[in-house]
Amino acid sequence: MIEIILSGSLVGLSLGLTGGGGSILAVPLLLGVVGLGLRDAVTVSLAGVGLTALYGALLQRHQVRWGAGALLGLGGVAGAPLGASLGASWPESLTLGLFALLMLFIAWKMWGGTNSSEVPLSFLTCRADSAGQLNFQWSCAGKLVAAGALTGVLSGIFGVGGGFLVVPALVLVTAMPMPAALATSLIGIFLISGAALVANLVALPTFPTDTAGWFLLGGAVGMTGGSWGKSLLSPALLRRIFAVTLVFVALWVAVRSWNQPATERESLSIEFRQSERLETQGREAAQMLFRHLMNRLEQAMADGGVVGAMNICQSDAQTLTGQTAEALNEKGIASIRRIGLRTRNPKNAQDGIDALVLRVFSKNWKRGDASSLAGQVVFLPQTGETRYYHPVPVAASCLACHGSNSDITPDVAHVLAELYPEDQAVNFAPGDLRGAIVVTFEPGPSSEP
């Protein structure tokens, strides 16, 4: 819990001081410190960053230009899907490289700005009255929506950096002081994050509510501190802090791009194949393992209740899986193993291909797609390997260990914490996709779909 709150505090502090950095910091912290899976980390990040931004806007309401922030944010909501579509079709190394260059360019412009709190007017900038309030004519509204749409497209392409793009857009179009731009950007971040959150929740089987709540609490604490600290700094210094932060963001993205070799990206290339023979063979193997495990669990439940069954899952399940694999070797099966949509036992962790297949399974599962309900044969073109993925749903009897806090008794929760300190496999509901049994076929003509 402490690490979740501290992670949220860092995100809130960044948003409060610079108006950006939320997703850049949140996802790595949720992955590396909190221990969430990628999709959960992205979704909790969007929820935490979006709601923390809204809290920050309310906290700094005297500086927020609500109309400008709303128009720019709505434009961003409209542009983000197009950006996401474009980004998905580009090589990741190209996307990350262009993003790093964009951040460096913005940092250069922000660092080289005037020491005053205003930006020189241009044909892109809305006019203000003598009191400094924007004249919300159609042309000004159009500029804000267009700037927001461009920001949304860029954010959708690059996947991170919404806040870092919103602030320069606001400064350019409205010529507002830097403190006001930082505060107003929070409205755009809230709207854009909210739209992305809804899109992700549709594809996510469950949502880690408890983790998101603690993360949001930390975000509120950090945002309060960042908003207070920002009030002590001059607009010129805020611009410099913002520029330096952008340089670090660019370096982080460049390192990430450099460290991702082409072979790793290629390894995630898969093909779903139709093969009645391999589907039947894989399904029979998966059902054999499932029967062995369920028989042992039912016996353990009868002898020692839920806690007794948990001890079997932690120890005997791996042995039973290995014994089943040995028995299947004569049938052209190289290995059989279990993976979870969210990991409990690290020995059952996903590899890159598993994660990709489960992501497809999860989306199809929510739609009731028959192909995922029945299992899938997957071919890996780079290695020639063929696998069969057999989906494992959550039964009502599984909730005693995999359900919500209301389903899991205190003694079971205590044992889970001892056996699996980094457990993520909770908050499931009956019928949810729990994971899959993966059958890998021996290489050769018999394994070709």
**pTM beyond cutoff 0.75:** no
Q: What is the pLDDT of residues 8-25, one digit of tens each?
A: 888 888 777 766 666 666
Q: How far is CA 338 from CA 69, 380, 388, 420, in A?
A: 48, 19, 12, 16
Q: Give the number of other Cβ atoms within 10 Å of residue 103's Cβ.
A: 27
Q: What is the pLDDT of residues 19-51, one digit of tens each?
A: 666 666 676 677 667 777 656 777 788 788 888
Choose the most confident range, by mean pLDDT, from 21-30, 197-206, 330-339: 330-339
The ranges assigned to domains in the chain are: 2-260, 266-447
Choose the most confident range, by mean pLDDT, from 80-89, 174-183, 201-210: 174-183
- Closest of 17, 353, 432 to residue 185, by C-alpha: 17
Average confidence (pLDDT) over 119-128? 56
Q: Residue 109 — pLDDT band, cuts 50, 70, 90?
A: confident
Query: What is the structure's pLDDT at 449?
Result: 54
400: left (phi > 0), else alpha (psi -120 to 50), else beta?
Answer: alpha
- Closest of 77, 214, 54 to residue 144, by C-alpha: 77
Query: What is the structure's pLDDT at 204?
Result: 58
- Closest of 57, 17, 63 to residue 191, by C-alpha: 57
Residues 6+ apart with CB under 8 A from 386: 273, 278, 377, 378, 379, 380, 440, 441, 447, 448, 449
Task: Pick the more confident residue, 425 or 96.
Answer: 425
3-state SS assignment for residue 441: strand
Residue entry with tokens 């993966």: 438
Query: What is the structure's pLDDT at 263?
Result: 38
Q: How far apart are CA 348 and CA 355, in angstroms?
A: 12
Q: How far is CA 398 from CA 92, 203, 289, 298, 434, in A?
A: 39, 22, 17, 12, 10
Query: What is residue 130's DSSP assignment?
Result: T
Beta strands 376-380 and 271-273 are antiparallel
Query: What is the structure's pLDDT at 422?
Result: 82
Q: Residue 388 — pLDDT band, cuts 50, 70, 90?
A: very high
Query: What is the structure's pLDDT at 60?
Result: 84
- Closest of 360, 319, 322, 359 to residue 342, by C-alpha: 359
3-state SS assignment for residue 177: coil
Q: Residue 127 — pLDDT band, cuts 50, 70, 90?
A: low
Q: Which amino acid is at 79?
A: G
* Residue 335 · residue 325 · CB < 8 Å: yes
Q: Give the number of other Cβ atoms within 10 Å of residue 240's Cβ.
A: 17
First to last CA, the chain: 47
Q: Give the number of other Cβ atoms within 10 Å of residue 413's Cβ.
A: 14
- Closest of 419, 284, 262, 244 to residue 345, by C-alpha: 419
Rg (CA), the chain: 25
Query: What is the structure's pLDDT at 436?
Result: 92
Task: Pick the more confident residue, 362 or 64.
Answer: 64
Q: Partners of 287 in the beta sheet?
A: none
